[in-house]
Structure 1
Amino acid sequence: MSKVKKVTLHLIEQNLLSPFVSSMGKVDKRESILVEVEDMDGVVGWGEVVAFSSPWYTEETIKTCWHMLQDFLVPQIVNEEFEHPQQLQNCFQTIKRNNMAKASIDMAIWDLFSKRQGISLSKAIGGTRDYIDSGVVVSIDSIENVLRKMEEHVKAGYKRIKIKIKPGQDYELLKQIRQQFPNVPLMVDANSAYTLEDIDKLKALDEFNLLMIEQPLADDDIFDHAKLQRKLSTPVCLDESIASVEDARKAIEMGSCQVLNIKIGRVGGITEAIKIHDICQFHHIPVWCGGMLETGISRAHNIALASLPNFTIPGDISASSRYWKRDVIVPEVYVENGRIAVPEEQGIGYNVDRGWIQHLTKQQKVIQA
């Protein structure tokens, strides 16, 4: 049993090593909220808000999450006792959505719980892998630059490459990629850039032997994706449409997808992510772990999640050096031969670099009983 003594919110800001561009916008500077939960015995767990500074991915932003954490979510857990992280879902039941804010606390409580149990986070949630395969994302750019980045990632040994696409930057791009890299495991991510009126454009991509096309239609849609999937031989993968296990159940029953992307932040935490993993496993729907340009804290949680048995497709979990000059964890996340070792140490398995976090901090808030 663990009683929460205090919660510290750290608002940090870092520059990405190179801009990240999707159909919805460009990110070159990344704000994050690191959530530090300490119990009465001095044991600390860490989580992270993975929302962006503007609401281009979901309706949440760093500012709205700070508000929700400070004024609603954190006050509900300070001085509360938790036997298991699953209790958080009942604790937050009266607060609608705000999944990324909720997830940051859920992650921290899971880290704290596994440390108190003396086991790794992977073992605490039922992970079965010692290593996970690592995939990488190539953002929207000129064809020349995309091919150059592809070459770098192939040489680095990444097991799967995801290409961001949008109308006008899809077929010809993929044609040239496949001419140069005919056998690389390849998928594309549209970030809701298409509609059913573009069905012929999407059907044309079937010839490129893609692992999947991720979220081609509206970010809140399940119905039209089912129509689209019936027309495509390429598997449709849902991302933004799935915010809960109930969303996953409905999408599976409707035939809206053949693959599902699970992001801890998007679904409200590890507890809900496990439920989605389990229902997908039951229905033989493979899953993979998506990325959000995270720091090493969230990346460590993703590694643990991806050690669950139904994560059979390499996720967007790459090396720390892919995005940051210096990460907030020690050691940083390394990729060797396209794989990442799942930590065996207690909790997330990485030490938090408090000095570097302090250097990056723009704002801090301590909330205690």
Structure 2
Amino acid sequence: MRINEINMFKLNMKMKNPFTTSFGTQHTRSFIIVEAKSSKGVSGWGECVTSDSPLYIEEFTDSSWLMLEKFLIPLILNTTIDHPDDVQERFNPYKRNHLAKSAIEGAIWDLYAKTEGIPLATALGGTRTSIEVGVSLGIEDNITNLLANIKEKVAEGYKRIKIKIKPGKDIEVIDTVRQHFPDIPLMVDANSAYTLEDVHVLKEMDKFNLMMIEQPLTAGDLIDHAKLQKEIKTPVCLDESIHSFEDTQKAIELKSGKIINLKIGRVGGLTQSKEIHDLCTQFGIPLWCGGMLESGIGRAHNIAITSLENFTLPGDTASSSRYWEKDIIEPEVVVENGKLTIPDKPGIGFEVDMNELLKNSVEKQTFK
């Protein structure tokens, strides 16, 4: 494939409902969409899953825009790419900036699959025709609202409920949820809000029969998570601690957790995601695909990677309507009874709604 045009779109999309974590509350998502065009006029699409501020990760929308513009796009534009796996090698000289790298690499993967006439899931080696899906619920000031949200999502058939927690919004909240929903598959996500001084609080969570505690300690940490896992029965799930294949190797060796939440953007793309998947398969570490409040383009990439065999736990790829009044793809992502069908059309399997994309765009840049 020869890439002769790349377009970047900066979008501001208002969320259907505010989403609160230990980092704060998001009302609007600011992110980047990348379109890579081949010499044959075929377009591939990728999403840079950033936000306005470097809270979840060190990258933010404006920094990723600059990284793409100044360093990454020049490595791809007007060059020939035999296979998307080659993109990772081209980007290796530049440190980190995984969200930016993932965006353009994702566009190349979509373009490659379309050029080959196969679904992206097939191009990645996926074998599933459908996947089970969970849902992530933010922190609520009013527990009644959280209980109502859980009831609604359980009725919709979601296979797992995740609730966000932080100090002061943890044991009492989980206890109340368990009183109302004693048997649902339930997990909690701390987004790095605790330290080892909170071991007594995290130990107390063992009595609630949780699927896992996601990223309880500092982002990037592996040693303290290993210490914590020895102290508690509930499986620790690593999120912000896993940014690469090498991080995964170290986490497995140190026994820092029993489960990994893989996010394509956080690890730098689909090629790295495949490598992490294969390593975790070898060592019996179950995976699930986390969400970054993506638009339909990023959501489509999540669906494709989750088709691989070792994504054995429900991910966070909920319906488009959970987050947006109108998504930027057609058809929108729709979960039915807690399951998503893997698209069988070439590429990501969804069409980009250009009218909706441009309506939400605040900036566009074209490279030829």
Alignment TM-score, normalising by the size of structure 2: 0.99
Q: Partner amino acid for 2:14?
A: N
> Shift of residue 359 of structure 1?
1.0
> Shift of residue 145 of structure 1?
1.1
> Shift of residue 355 of structure 1?
1.1
CA distance in 1 between partners of 2:61 and 2:143 (Å): 33
Is the partner of 1:48 in helix, strand or coil? Answer: strand
Show the counterpart of 1:147. Answer: 147
Instruction: Return structure 1 stretches of 4+ with deviation > 3 angstroms.
Output: none
Q: For 1:1-369, what aligned pairs fall within 5 Å after superposition?
A: 2-141=1-140, 142-368=142-368
CA distance in 2 between partners of 1:76 and 1:131 (Å): 35
> Shift of residue 290 of structure 1?
0.3
Is the partner of 2:112 in helix, strand or coil? Answer: helix
CA distance in 1 between partners of 2:168 and 2:30 (Å): 31
Is the partner of 1:344 in helix, strand or coil? Answer: coil
Give the fraction of aligned pairs with identical amino acids, expressed as a percent.
51
Q: Partner amino acid for 2:18?
A: P
Q: Deviations over 1:312-368 (max 9, x none)?
A: 000000000000000000000001111011000000000000111111110000011
Is the partner of 2:318 in helix, strand or coil? Answer: coil
Q: Deviations over 1:195-224 (max 9, x none)?
A: 000000000000010000000000010000
CA distance in 2 between partners of 1:116 and 1:284 (Å): 34
Q: Partner amino acid for 1:165?
A: I
Q: Deviations over 1:171-191 (max 9, x none)?
A: 111111111101100000000
CA distance in 2 between partners of 1:35 and 1:121 (Å): 17
CA distance in 2 between partners of 1:58 and 1:93 (Å): 19
CA distance in 2 between partners of 1:351 and 1:90 (Å): 29
CA distance in 2 between partners of 1:203 and 1:129 (Å): 36
Is the partner of 2:216 in helix, strand or coil? Answer: coil
Is the partner of 2:17 in helix, strand or coil? Answer: strand
Q: Partner amino acid for 2:306?
A: A
Q: Deviations over 1:86-135 (max 9, x none)?
A: 10111111111000000001100000011111100000001111111111
CA distance in 1 between partners of 2:220 and 2:267 (Å): 13
> Shift of residue 59 of structure 1?
0.5
Q: Partner amino acid for 2:259?
A: V
Is the partner of 1:28 in helix, strand or coil? Answer: strand
Is the partner of 2:312 in helix, strand or coil? Answer: coil
> Shift of residue 193 of structure 1?
0.3
Q: Partner amino acid for 2:267?
A: V
CA distance in 1 between partners of 2:363 and 2:51 (Å): 16
CA distance in 2 between partners of 1:187 and 1:294 (Å): 21
Q: Partner amino acid for 2:102?
A: A
The CA RMSD over aligned residues, in Å, is 0.6
CA distance in 1 between partners of 2:88 and 2:155 (Å): 43
> Shift of residue 246 of structure 1?
0.4
CA distance in 1 between partners of 2:241 and 2:337 (Å): 33
Q: Deviations over 1:35-83 (max 9, x none)?
A: 0000111111000000111011000000000000111100110011111
CA distance in 2 between partners of 1:178 and 1:132 (Å): 26
Q: Partner amino acid for 1:191?
A: N
> Shift of residue 144 of structure 1?
1.2
Is the partner of 2:357 in helix, strand or coil? Answer: helix
> Shift of residue 143 of structure 1?
1.3
Q: Deviations over 1:123-160 (max 9, x none)?
A: 00011111111110110012111111101100111000
Q: How many residues are matched? A: 367
Consecutive unaligned residues in structure 1, runs of 5 or more? none
